[in-house]
Structure 1
């Protein structure tokens, strides 16, 4: 039973990471048009801000706590360690007080989950959009 759990653990981690990565990509499209005040409400205060002729840029840095799981996965000739640690930087471009673009700079130890660590930044905003509590325009 333990071997089965060890073999399935990487699959479960990859599935969760793939889901979070898809959520982050969904946020990239669905949060365009969000007002600045609504962005602060759902994502919090940004770590960095900058202004240029192209607009305002609000940056959120996230390093979620590691899932606490690191399991060796047997492969031919040795093993591969799978861990769920990753980091993310999300930058929102705002023009005239509205989100116009969202950029991700993420690093992940799991394949196919490049932007998974970015999901927590946009997840609350997507929830408020779905509930109709904030509007995009």
Structure 2
């Protein structure tokens, strides 16, 4: 019985660690992508879904509109299903001036079980790995 309690604590700690890692990537991107050239941003994030030209630069937006689901869904007999996770979408917005990223923001209902911006992770993941 003691081993089961230790296993539960270890699993809880692992889920907490995973949740903090997934939700921290988009927050890290708000700082780490500043100064990235526009061409590098498009190379890692893909072609933006929307582009708005402004007098002092432009705004690029990537949309992840398919619901992202957290990892905690319990299924039982007789089609019983309990979903304890949140669902979210994300719009990744980058402001460009003189060909460089000057601001990164996120919009959309992006709350999931893994954190406030976890639904945005897939949009910026490649850019963070290329920007090390």
TM-score range, shorter chain: 0.7 to 0.9
> What CA distance in whole angstroms lies between the structure 2 residues aligned with 1:27 and 1:109?
18
The 3-state SS of whatever aligns with 2:69 is: coil
Say what the alpha-carbon RMSD is for the aligned residues. 2.7
> Which residue of the other structure, out of 14, 17, 26, is the alignment partner of 2:19?
17
Deviations 1:51-87 (A, max 9, x none): 1124211001113653574239xxxxxxx84125321
The normalised TM-score by structure 1 is 0.70
1:70 aligns with 2:73: yes
- In the other structure, the counterpart of 2:104 is 102
The 3-state SS of whatever aligns with 2:95 is: strand
Alignment of 1:1-137 (within 5 A): 12=15, 15-62=17-64, 63=66, 65-66=68-69, 69-71=72-74, 81-106=83-108, 107-110=110-113, 113-130=115-132
The normalised TM-score by structure 2 is 0.73
In structure 1, the gaps of 5 or more residues are: 73-79, 131-137
> What CA distance in whole angstroms lies between the structure 2 residues aligned with 1:20 and 1:87?
14
- In the other structure, the counterpart of 1:135 is none
The 3-state SS of whatever aligns with 2:41 is: helix
